[in-house]
């Protein structure tokens, strides 16, 4: 109870500070809140948006893009990560190009993506994919490399064949790291999607936010930002929830009997 | 189990490491065991005894000589050679019952049958009622019991144990030694047990092999004919104390080299 109260209190304080800053038109010289829309303006703008027909279209567009990019990154990241972590040849063969591509921010891919893909839709999904891929890939590799070798030895001595080893030992043993990668990847997926939508989108929350700026609808900018934050948070919570479902042993209350 | 679980090791050498860091861990070791015999290998830490055991389990390749189990050359791990580690190697994501039943699953036995056998095995090691626990919820001694149950369910021809009680406190260690002997007297599988604890080795073994400092060689062999079943009273008998002193002298002579 106390925990929840504290969390609400912190949100309330943020809201209050925002309200004070915008209603008093605070100008600190290096940063000015004169143009900042107030919480009241923003919430009425949010209500308008929710009642408008475009709201679902924006929401759908963004969620679909994030999901496609993220799922693709999950499949590719985990399967590449498992092979690179497990087999020296895969590591030697696949890691050099990946290591070179990794430092390139996903946003820097936008121009090339627009040139490479037939539709802006696919190019935005690609940007999201790139953003989510590396956290998933690297955490999976790390997870596999960090596996206690004795677990593998024990499994082999209990009659586990090399082929079954992946399913029986490697994947469950690396699961916690893989989920860390998925949670980080989900965050970067949203981050990259919004950047891509600002440049190439026709719908979506990033597009909504940026187009509100160009038509000088300032409260809508904040609505877009808050929605992005909310959806990012919700998807992280979803991943944490799935992780707890899939890995019940990770959240044990250790009660020792005798 | 009769006439099974016989290792024949002849002129075995094991080199580890690569390039300039390569070293000989075990040098020119030969020995064999009787079916159902309990052998303890005693040696100072770092003498290569664990490496020897890993090679016998098929996890490390030898560089010279051969290891045969019942006439078959050992080249890779298999379920006939059970392996127990110092720190438990239970799968943290599996409940106790599934850990114990793992070997049966690998043989393709269906779930209800393997759970039935696993429950029996857990009863044998005194852990009925802990089927649904995860390994992290058990104490160190209980974890080792599960580990032993998981190996026993495969009815291995031989069990290799690498200081299995080394991480336990003295009290638990003693009760685990008695537990192991009582289980072993029921099944009489061959056991090769590694330890650096002289008392443990003397208490458990039919035959004791003492290893030198690295590169490990056998420097002494002591047959132990204490009557079985053995109890803790054995620890205070003059013969036991005298042998303990002797082993200590042999091991200490190694330190001066």
pLDDT in tens, A63-78: 999 999 999 999 999 9
Q: Chain A within 8 Å of B150 (Cβ-Cβ)? A: yes
Window 48-67 of A, Cβ < 8 Å to B? none
The answer to whether the CB atoms of A256 and B137 lie below 8 A apart is yes
Q: What integer pLDDT is reported at residue B21 of this predicted model?
A: 86
Q: Could you tell me what percent of chain A has a pLDDT over 70?
A: 97
Residue A182 has pLDDT above 50, yes or no: yes
B200 is a domain residue = yes
Q: List the domain range (segments joined by +) for residue B73.
A: 7-80+156-255
Residue B195 belongs to a domain: yes
The pLDDT, as a whole number, for residue A173 is: 95
Provide the pLDDT for residue B256: 57
CB-based contact, B154 to chain A, within 8 Å? yes
Nearest-CB residue to B137 (from A157, A159, A255): A255
Asked if A257 is an interface residue toward chain B (Cβ–Cβ < 8 A), one would say yes
Asked if B89's CB is within 8 angstroms of A172's CB, the reply is: no
pLDDT confidence of A220, banded at 50, 70, 90? very high
Burial class (CB in 10 A: 0-12, 13-18, 19+), B257: exposed
- Measure A246 CA to nearest chain B CA, in Å: 10
Please give the Cα distance from A218 to A155 (Å, whole number). Answer: 61
Q: Does residue B93 lie in a domain region?
A: no
Residues 6 or more apart whose Cβ sits within 8 Å of residue B248: B198
Given a contact cutoff of 8 angstroms between Cβ atoms, the answer to whether B42 and B198 are in contact is yes
- Please judge whether B79 and A257 are an interchain contact, meaning their C-beta atoms are less than 8 angstroms apart: no
Give Cα A116 to chain centroid, integer Å: 24
pLDDT tens track for A21-62 = 998 888 888 988 888 899 999 999 999 999 988 899 999 999
Phi then psi dihedrals of residue B107, to 5 deg: -90, 5
Among residues 152-181 of chain A, which lie with CB inside 8 Å of chain B? Answer: 153-161, 164, 168-169, 172-173, 175
- Is there a contact between A258 and B139 if contact means CB atoms under 8 Å apart? yes
Structural domains of chain A, with CATH: 44-250 (1.10.3720.10)
Where chain B has pLDDT below 70, the residues are 1-2, 256-257
CB atoms A153 and B59 under 8 Å: yes
pLDDT at residue B2 in the model? 54
In a domain, B21, yes or no: yes
Terminal CA-to-CA distance of chain A, rounded, Å?
A: 33
| Closest chain A residue by Cα to residue B96 | A249
Does B103 touch chain A if contact means CB atoms closer than 8 Å? yes
d(CA B181, CA A199): 73
Q: How many domains does chain B have?
A: 1
Residue A99 has pLDDT above 70, yes or no: yes
Residue B24 lies in a domain: yes
Do B190 and B155 touch, CB atoms closer than 8 A? no
Burial class (CB in 10 A: 0-12, 13-18, 19+), B62: buried
Q: Say whether A159 and B137 touch across the interface (CB within 8 A).
A: no
The residue-averaged pLDDT of A155-169 equals 93
Task: Please judge whether B106 and A175 are an interchain contact, meaning their C-beta atoms are less than 8 angstroms apart.
Answer: no
Q: Tokens standing for B21?
A: 């860091």
Nearest CB to A158 within list B79, B87, B139: B79
| B164 touching A (Cβ < 8 Å) | no
Residue A256 has pLDDT above 60, yes or no: no
**Cα–Cα dist B88/B94, whole Å:** 14
Distance CA B64, CA A204 (A): 68
A156 contacts in B (CB within 8 Å)? 58-59, 76-77
Mutate which of A147, A153, A156, A158 to test chain B, going by most B C-beta atoms within 10 A? A158
Between chains, do A153 and B89 touch, taking CB under 8 Å as contact?
Answer: yes
Share of chain A above pLDDT 90, in %: 73
Asked if B137 lies within 8 A of A175 by C-beta distance, the reply is: no
- B77: contact with A, CB 8 A cutoff: yes
Mean pLDDT of chain A: 91
Which two tokens mark A244?
């707890």
DSSP tag of A32: B
What's residue A235's pLDDT? 93
- Contact status of B157 with chain A (Cβ, < 8 Å): no
What integer pLDDT is reported at residue B254 of this predicted model? 79
Q: What does the pLDDT average to over A89-100?
A: 93
Size of interface A-B (CB pairs under 8 A): 76
Nearest to B143 by CA among A247, A254, A171, A147: A254
Q: Is B68 helix (H, G, I), strand (E, B) or coil?
A: strand
Task: Compare CB distances from A157 to B81, B91, B92 and report the shortest one's residue.
Answer: B81
The whole-angstrom distance between B76's CA and the closest CA on chain A is 9
Please indicate whether residue B2 or residue A199 has the higher confidence score (pLDDT).
Answer: A199
A147 touches chain B (CB under 8 A): no
Question: Which residues does chain A have within 8 Å of residue B59's beta carbon, measured at their own beta carbons?
Answer: 153, 156-157
| Nearest CA distance, B88 vs chain A (angstrom) | 9
In a domain, B121, yes or no: no
In-domain check, residue B223: yes
* Domain-embedded: residue B72: yes
CATH number of the domain at B19, please: 3.40.50.300
């Amino acid at each position: 109870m106390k925990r929840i109260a504290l969390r609400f209190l912190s949100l309330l304080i943020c809201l209050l500070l925002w309200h004070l800053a915008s209603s008093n038109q605070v100008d600190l010289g290096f940063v000015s809140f004169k143009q900042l829309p107030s919480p009241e303006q923003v919430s009425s703008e949010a209500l308008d948006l929710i009642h408008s027909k475009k709201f679902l279209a924006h929401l759908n567009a963004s969620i679909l893009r994030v999901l496609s990019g993220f799922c693709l990154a999950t499949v590719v990241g985990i399967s590449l990560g498992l092979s690179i972590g497990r087999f020296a040849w895969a590591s030697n063969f696949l890691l050099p190009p990946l290591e070179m591509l990794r430092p390139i921010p996903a946003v820097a891919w936008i121009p090339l993506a627009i040139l490479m893909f037939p539709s802006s839709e696919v190019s935005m999904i690609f940007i999201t994919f790139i953003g989510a891929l590396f956290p998933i890939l690297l955490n999976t590799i790390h997870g596999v490399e960090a596996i206690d070798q004795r677990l593998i030895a024990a499994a082999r001595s209990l009659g586990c064949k090399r082929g079954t080893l992946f399913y029986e030992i490697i994947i469950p043993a690396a699961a916690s790291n893989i989920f860390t990668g998925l949670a980080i990847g989900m965050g970067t997926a949203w981050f990259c999607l919004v950047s891509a939508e600002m440049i190439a989108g026709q719908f979506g929350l990033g597009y909504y936010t940026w187009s509100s700026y160009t038509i000088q609808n300032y409260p809508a900018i904040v609505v877009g930002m808050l929605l992005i934050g909310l959806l990012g948070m919700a998807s992280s919570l979803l991943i944490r929830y799935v992780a707890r479902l899939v890995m019940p042993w990770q959240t044990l209350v250790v009660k020792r009997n005798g | 189990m009769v006439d099974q679980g016989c290792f024949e090791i002849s002129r075995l050498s094991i080199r580890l490491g690569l390039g300039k860091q390569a070293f000989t861990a075990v040098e020119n070791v030969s020995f064999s065991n009787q079916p159902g015999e309990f052998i303890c290998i005693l040696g100072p830490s770092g003498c290569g005894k664990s490496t020897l055991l890993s090679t016998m389990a098929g996890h490390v390749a030898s560089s010279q000589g051969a290891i045969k189990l019942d006439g078959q050359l050992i080249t890779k791990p298999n379920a006939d050679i059970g392996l127990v580690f110092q720190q438990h190697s239970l799968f943290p994501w599996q409940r106790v019952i599934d850990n114990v039943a793992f070997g049966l699953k690998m043989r393709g036995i269906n779930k209800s049958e393997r759970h039935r056998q696993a429950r029996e095995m857990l009863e044998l090691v005194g852990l009925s009622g802990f089927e649904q626990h995860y390994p992290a919820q058990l104490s160190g001694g209980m974890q080792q019991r599960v580990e032993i149950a998981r190996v026993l369910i495969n009815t291995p021809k031989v069990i290799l144990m690498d200081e299995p009680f080394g991480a336990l406190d003295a009290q638990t260690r003693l009760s685990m030694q008695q537990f192991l002997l009582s289980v072993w007297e029921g099944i009489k599988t061959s056991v090769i047990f590694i330890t650096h604890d002289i008392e443990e080795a003397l208490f458990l073994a039919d035959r004791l092999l003492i290893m030198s400092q690295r590169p490990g060689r056998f420097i002494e062999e002591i047959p132990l004919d204490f009557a079985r079943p053995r109890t803790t009273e054995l620890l205070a008998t003059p013969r036991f104390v005298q042998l303990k002193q002797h082993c200590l002298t042999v091991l200490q002579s190694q330190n001066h080299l």
